[in-house]
Structure 1
Amino acid sequence: MSNQETWTAVDEYFYSGLFKGDGVLADVERASEAAGLPAISVSAAQGKLLGLLVRGVGAHRILEVGTLGGHSAIWMAKEIGRPGRLVTFELDPRHAEVARANVDRAGVGDLVEIRVGPAAEGLGKLLDERPEPFDFVFIDADKASNAVYLDYAVRLGHPGTVIVVDNVVRGGRVLSAPDEASVGVRELVDVLAERADVDAVAIQTVGSRGYDGFILAVVTG
């Protein structure tokens, strides 16, 4: 088998053993596909990882940058401590519409607030509202703005806030590729290396979605 075939087979093996059936999440995937959304949402394994991290942190307030069809928001909101709130930003109004239907379908619509528009602008407005600090942040939007999103995540968080930034390895292109996304990831790494108020590590992953990885960070001060 090729590497990709092996990675996918291993994903399917662990999925069959460690996941309990959830028809709602399957419905969400089908609804997103039917609406023509790009197939770039988190995998089931990535989604469950986010949910377990949320549960482990005991998060009541979650911030997400990049909603797409609401798949990752649903995984996280299902584990949120109540009373709780998940605020998520989506640039595309059509994607936000699909996501709203999906989170309602999953029974977590009362916990999820979807804000439509450029995330950096929306995060600035959110900061002006002086909300209660967020316990967990998931960043999965345009990679060129990763450093900007990280800064807002720290400012909207508190010591102990966990931050996950997705798609940072990009099949190894992070090392030297000149595309905007890879450059954005390298800028993020440079920023993290200089910040004394955040500690971070990058984890490489392989699976049904190929070769990639994420950064896991904790606000320290």
Structure 2
Amino acid sequence: MYDSEQRWRAVDGYLATTLVDEDEALVAARTSARDAGLPAYEVAPNQGALLALLARLGGARRVLEIGTLAGYSTIWLARAVEHVTTIELDPGYAELAERNLAAAGVADRVELLVGAAVDRLAELVARGGPAYDLVFIDADKPNNPAYLAAALRLTRPGSLIIADNVVRDGAVVDPDCPDDRVRGVREFLELVRADPRLEATALQTVGVKGWDGFALVLVR
């Protein structure tokens, strides 16, 4: 008899193999991350497909991704839109992502910025330019409130902001949790709730990524 986590993983595997077109370039991106010793933080295949589907459903042309890692989710997004700006703190991770993006044939659609996301986002705000239609936040959770503030300056009414890892194995319900990641998520959600410009919901997920969830935030 499977325990719950084994069942979650089995269902994710079934859904991915049945519905998700994860080609060799995407598999190679995931594999390269493990081979390089990167943490297994990238989205699952069915979650990557969901990101691409949400981008297409919203008619997104420009995407901002905060947290590149090895470029797995970046590939999904770049295949769905015309342009992705993605930000990665670690230069080594960024180099690996650049190779994976090139191998997937999407490097010409991606602007990869290296450095602390707070700094790179400030530069994007100062630069100006067209608004982003979708923002995917998947980086260090203590800075989620700052990422939300920047996203609101870089989007437009109708843009969608997606924040990953907002459940944290259920720890998000604990207001006294000492984990800075949980505190960052809670502050992010509270800021969303208090902002009249935003309409949002959040969903729990279980699967190969364990017990977590994501928030969907519409800029009104």
Tell me the TM-score normalized by structure 2.
0.96
In the other structure, the counterpart of 1:201 is 201
1:16: Cα distance to partner?
2.2
In the other structure, the counterpart of 1:210 is 210
In the other structure, the counterpart of 2:45 is 44
For 1:123, give the aligned amino acid: L
Matched, 1:120 2:118: yes
In the other structure, the counterpart of 1:180 is 180
Q: Is the 8 A contact 2:170 2:212 kept in 1?
A: yes
Distance 1:41 1:15 in 2: 15
1:10: Cα distance to partner?
1.0
- 1:184-221 Cα offsets, whole Å, 9 max, x none, are 0111111111101111111111111110000001100x
Where does the alignment leave 5 or more consecutive residues of structure 1 unmatched? none
Check 1:21–1:184 CA distance in 2 against 1; reply closer, same or farther (3 A cut): closer
- 1:131-176 Cα offsets, whole Å, 9 max, x none, are 1000010000010011110111111000000110000001101111
1:20: Cα distance to partner?
3.0
In the other structure, the counterpart of 2:137 is 139
Check 1:21–1:72 CA distance in 2 against 1; reply closer, same or farther (3 A cut): closer
Distance 2:187 2:17 in 1: 38
Distance 1:88 1:145 in 2: 16
Residue 88 of structure 2 is aligned with which of 84, 87, 90? Answer: 90
- 1:60-96 Cα offsets, whole Å, 9 max, x none, are 110010000000110000111xxx2211111100010
Where does the alignment leave 5 or more consecutive residues of structure 2 unmatched? none
In the other structure, the counterpart of 1:55 is 56
1:21: Cα distance to partner?
4.8
What's the RMSD between the two structures over aligned residues?
A: 0.9
For 2:42, give the aligned amino acid: S
1:39: Cα distance to partner?
1.2
Distance 1:130 1:192 in 2: 24
Q: Is the 8 A contact 2:22 2:45 kept in 1?
A: no
For 2:197, give the aligned amino acid: D
Matched, 1:164 2:162: yes
Distance 2:160 2:101 in 1: 23
For 2:180, give the aligned amino acid: E
1:100: Cα distance to partner?
0.6
Query: Number of aligned pairs?
Result: 217
In the other structure, the counterpart of 1:75 is 76
Secondary structure of 2:38 counterpart: coil
- 1:79-136 Cα offsets, whole Å, 9 max, x none, are 11xxx22111111000101001111110000001110111011101110011100001
Check 1:143–1:21 CA distance in 2 against 1; reply closer, same or farther (3 A cut): closer
In the other structure, the counterpart of 1:24 is 25
